[in-house]
């Protein structure tokens, strides 16, 4: 069953029928990230990597980055360009890495209740690492983002530790509570569970004693994603719209560089990229490097593919980082968005 999950999330479904060990994850040289020994509790047995640009002021924003299955913290940082963006825009990066002893495919265990419960497992480890980063660099606005299994784990962290985050971005991920075991995880990835917005919201409300205000959430998904289907993005929207008290029908719809954007004020948004499959969109002409699940949108034909490289990085660092109260930078507000991490769509 583990192999089925890993094969599906790596978009190698046929691998489930082949005997033999899983492939070792590549570990590229990444001088930017430094491994730090966790000083707090680490019940999830995760690895901690960090980067802070020279001269970073105390209390600068912190971005927590969670890789996808079969990836490492270093590989995802190089592919998405987070350390380069941190140097450019002035924030710290916490890159958390899964160990094979916890999950044979290097996936965060977003579906395992002991790992997504407040004070337990992997969620508690990530929360403790955030506290360690705050002790090192000062407590500034904190954001979280992740891809695929990392996106689902980012959703879990926003749900069980909403008090830690000003906002976050879920890229090709799943809503919190979509599964509680491996079999359900496989089913959820193929087809999101059917729940009302209230039922999705209640899963988050039950995860902690927190009652709001809730983090701002930006959701990114490729319409051609067959690994984690787009119904999961729609379910995540329903979950956070219910928490924020936002009617689903009140969204403003826009076409932004070929992507369909649904926006509920400054608290929630969904970008659907019609030509994108499963992965994080990048523009390697700017930062990052194309590779497995790192999709070079900037060099492709058509404006629809170009949208994601700006948005996926921008989404994780919202305007709250510099006093925006958790709201997203307005379209065209290039100066504000650059201070956060990346260009706002339409800038």
Catalytic residue set: 148
Q: Do 80 and 284 meet the contact criterion of CB atoms below 8 Å apart?
A: no
Pairing of strands 216-222, 167-171: parallel
How far is residue 85 from each of residues 160, 246, 275, 301, measured CA to CA in Å? 28, 32, 25, 25
Query: What contacts 72, CB < 8 A, 6 or more positions away?
Result: 25, 26, 27, 28, 97, 106
Q: Do 302 and 259 meet the contact criterion of CB atoms below 8 Å apart?
A: no
Query: What contacts 68, CB < 8 A, 6 or more positions away?
Result: 9, 76, 107, 146, 147, 148, 149, 150, 151, 172, 280, 293
157, 139, 5: which is closest to 66 by C-alpha?
157
Structure letter (DSSP) for residue 68:
-
Round to the nearest angstrom and report the end-to-end CA distance of the chain: 45
Q: Do 134 and 159 meet the contact criterion of CB atoms below 8 Å apart?
A: no
Q: What are phi and psi of 318, to 5 degrees?
A: -95, 175
209, 167, 197: which is closest to 62 by C-alpha?
167
CA separation for the pair 239, 229 (Å, rounded): 16
């Amino acid at each position: 069953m583990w192999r089925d999950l890993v094969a599906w999330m790596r978009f190698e479904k046929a691998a489930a029928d082949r005997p033999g060990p899983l492939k070792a994850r590549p570990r590229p040289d990444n001088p930017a990230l430094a491994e730090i020994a966790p000083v707090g509790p680490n019940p999830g047995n995760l690895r901690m990597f960090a980067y802070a640009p020279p001269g970073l002021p105390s209390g600068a924003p912190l971005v927590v980055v969670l890789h996808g299955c079969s990836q490492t913290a270093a590989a995802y940082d190089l592919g998405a360009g987070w350390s380069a963006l941190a140097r450019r825009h002035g924030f710290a990066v916490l890159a958390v890495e899964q160990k094979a002893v916890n999950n044979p495919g290097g996936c965060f265990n977003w579906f395992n209740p002991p790992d997504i419960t407040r004070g337990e497992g992997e969620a508690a480890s990530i929360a403790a690492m955030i506290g360690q980063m705050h002790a090192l660099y000062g407590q500034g606005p904190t954001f979280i983002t992740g891809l695929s299994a990392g996106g689902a784990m980012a959703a879990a962290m926003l749900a069980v530790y909403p008090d830690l985050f000003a906002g976050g971005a879920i890229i090709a991920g799943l809503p919190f509570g979509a599964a509680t075991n491996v079999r359900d995880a496989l089913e959820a990835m193929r087809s999101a569970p059917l729940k009302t917005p209230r039922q999705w919201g209640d899963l988050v409300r039950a995860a902690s004693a927190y009652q709001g205000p809730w983090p701002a959430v930006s959701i990114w998904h490729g319409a051609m994603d067959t690994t984690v289907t787009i119904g999961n993005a729609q379910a995540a929207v329903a979950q956070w719209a219910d928490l924020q008290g936002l009617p689903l029908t009140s969204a403003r719809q826009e076409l932004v560089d070929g992507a369909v954007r649904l926006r509920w004020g400054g608290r929630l948004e969904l970008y659907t990229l019609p030509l994108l499959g499963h992965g994080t969109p990048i523009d390697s002409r700017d930062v990052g490097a194309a590779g497995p699940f790192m999709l070079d949108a900037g060099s492709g034909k058509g404006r629809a593919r170009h949208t994601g490289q700006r948005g996926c990085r921008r989404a994780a660092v919202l305007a709250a980082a510099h006093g925006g109260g958790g709201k997203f930078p307005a379209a065209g507000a290039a100066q504000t968005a650059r201070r956060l991490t990346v260009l706002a769509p339409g800038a």
